[in-house]
Amino acid sequence: MLHVIGVHLYLENANGEVLLGLRHPDSAYAGSTWHFLAGHCERESAVAGLIREAREEAGLVIDAKDVEFVHAVHLVDTPGMQPRMQMVFRARRWTGVPEILGPDKYVSWSWWCPEALPEPIVPCTRAAIEGIRSGRLYTERGWS
């Protein structure tokens, strides 16, 4: 079974807060739940997909030289579902202020203290933030 490859943006502001978006209630994935700015690779490298998603979803401009891999979550959301490899990248620099450009996917962007993340939050998002903060590069979820 092929894996879906997801790219997730980990941004920290000058106060150490992490950017998360509240998913639209009717979103096909994780409606009404807080999540990284994220998307799927579309016949492109993971970093190119991340840069595209940041521009399309939030109007953020990121240069590939400012991106570093920080965590991976290999998961099965529900038994029998297609496995997913969620790759999380940190952008050290970016231009722009997060704005809602995909209103069918996100309804707001907010900065959150990693010690006080919002609820409900996508479980792999919480797992990745915890992994990044503890210096781990990899987490598995949902495998029997």
Q: Which amino acid is at 16?
A: G
pLDDT of residue 42: 87
pLDDT of residue 84: 86
CB within 8 A of 53, min separation 6: which ones?
7, 9, 37, 38, 39
Q: What is the CATH number of the domain that holds 69?
A: 3.90.79.10
CA distances from 25 to 1, 8, 22, 33, 134 (A): 29, 20, 9, 8, 31
pLDDT of residue 4: 81
Sign of CA dihedral 6, 75, 35, 102: positive
Per the structure, the complete domain to which residue 44 belongs is given by 4-141
If the chain, 144 residues long, is cut into consecutive pieces of 10 residues, what is the mean pLDDT of each piece? 85 97 93 95 93 97 98 86 91 98 94 98 96 96 81
pLDDT of residue 1: 53
User: In a 10 Å sphere around its CB, with 0-12 CB exposed, 13-18 middle and 19+ buried, how is residue 135 labelled?
Assistant: exposed
User: How many distinct structural domains can be found in the chain?
Assistant: 1
Q: What share of the chain is helix, strand, coil (3-state, %, to 5)?
A: 20, 35, 45
pLDDT of residue 66: 98
